């Protein structure tokens, strides 16, 4: 057993360091040229913006959130302002991006707690997970963006790229699959963990799409398990 970023994994199940490095390098090169630009990715973006947007991005396309984000920020520029909204107000305001009831139900208690803490984020994983409305994904986002720790923002899109390139996970629920969790942790554990997270998410949105992945323009094709299998059965890639 080895340990990456505080997570234990069995070395035999996971790809070699060389393969992970190759994957990271190709993806980061591609991201430098093709990565998407969003307001929450600029250098001056505050931690509030970076964390709040992750709640808004859950199961929602980034382009949809990008259109909605400026007006949301104008109305709620801080945890304090957000905490002053009622849950019903939030439900109404969040309607354009969907999942409004779930998002309002998690944002309201989180905003109240963060306002009470005067915007100071807890430091330990245990304390972060104890924040109301914070699950694994947002906890990882807080560790990554606020504390600069290498943590993967594992969602179904990042999972798709990792599974196609490396191996499928073993469990249905991505939050508990030890292979996927360990693999994603290893992939983001090199330099610039924020960039590699964004690169994975952008690659999933632009190249390794759910339907009809663009393997013919993919920088990972040479060593991709799924892309190479697909190439042997289809002249379409």
Cβ closest to ligand SF4, residue 135 vs residue 168: 168
What residues contact residue 15 under an 8 Å CB cut-off, 6+ apart? 23, 166, 183
**Rg from Cα positions in the chain:** 19
Structure tokens at 26: 């190709």
CB of 50 to ligand SF4, least distance (A): 26
Catalytic residue among 113, 121, 129, 155: 155
Phi-psi label, residue 134: left if phi above 0, alpha if psi -120 to 50, beta otherwise? beta
Distance in Å, CB of 183 to ligand SF4, minimum: 14
**Which of 179-191 are b and which e, b meaning 16 or more Cβ less than 10 Å from the residue's Cβ?**
bbbbbbbbbbbbe
Alpha-carbon distance 20 to 13, whole Å? 13
Question: Which residue lies nearer to ligand SF4 by CB, 91 or 205?
Answer: 205
Binding mask 140-169 toward ligand SF4 (x if CB under 6 A, else -) reads ---------------------x--xx----
The candidate with the shortest Cα–Cα distance to 140, out of 209, 65, 50, is 50
Q: For residue 97, state whether it binds ligand SF4 (rule: CB under 6 A).
A: no
What's the rounded Cα separation, in Å, for the pair 5 and 186? 8
- Which string of x and - marks every residue 195-224 that binds ligand SF4 (by CB under 6 A)? ------------xx----xxx--x-xx--x
Could you tell me the smallest distance in angstroms from the CB atom of residue 179 to ligand SF4? Answer: 17
- Is residue 137 among the annotated active site residues? yes
Catalytic residue among 9, 54, 143, 177: 54
- From the list 9, 48, 137, 226, the catalytic residue is 137
Token digits of residue 145: 């963006």
Number of residues that bind ligand SF4 (CB under 6 A): 14
* Residue numbers annotated as active site: 54, 137, 155
Q: Which positions touch ligand SF4 (CB under 6 A)? A: 161, 164-165, 207-208, 213-215, 218, 220-221, 224, 226-227
């Amino acid at each position: 057993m080895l340990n990456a970023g505080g997570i234990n994994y069995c070395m035999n199940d996971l790809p070699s360091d060389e393969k992970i490095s190759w994957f990271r390098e190709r993806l980061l090169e591609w991201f430098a040229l093709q990565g998407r630009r969003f307001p929450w990715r600029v250098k001056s973006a505050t931690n509030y913006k970076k964390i709040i947007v992750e709640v808004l991005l859950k199961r929602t396309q980034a382009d949809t959130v990008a259109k909605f984000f400026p007006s949301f920020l104008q109305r709620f520029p801080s945890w304090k302002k957000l905490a002053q909204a009622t849950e019903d107000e939030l439900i109404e305001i969040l309607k354009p991006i969907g999942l409004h009831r779930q998002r309002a139900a998690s944002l309201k208690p989180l905003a109240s707690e963060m306002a009470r803490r005067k915007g100071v984020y807890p430091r330990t994983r245990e304390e972060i997970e104890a924040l109301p409305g914070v699950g694994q994904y947002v906890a990882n986002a807080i560790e990554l963006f606020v504390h600069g720790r290498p943590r993967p923002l594992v969602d179904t899109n990042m999972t798709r790229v990792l599974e196609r390139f490396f191996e499928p996970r073993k469990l249905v629920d991505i939050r508990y699959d030890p292979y996927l969790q360990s693999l994603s942790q290893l992939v983001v554990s090199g330099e610039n963990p924020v960039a590699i997270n964004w690169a994975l998410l952008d690659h999933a949105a632009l190249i390794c799409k759910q339907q009809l992945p663009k393997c013919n323009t993919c920088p990972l094709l040479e060593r991709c398990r799924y892309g190479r299998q697909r190439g042997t059965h289809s002249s379409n890639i």
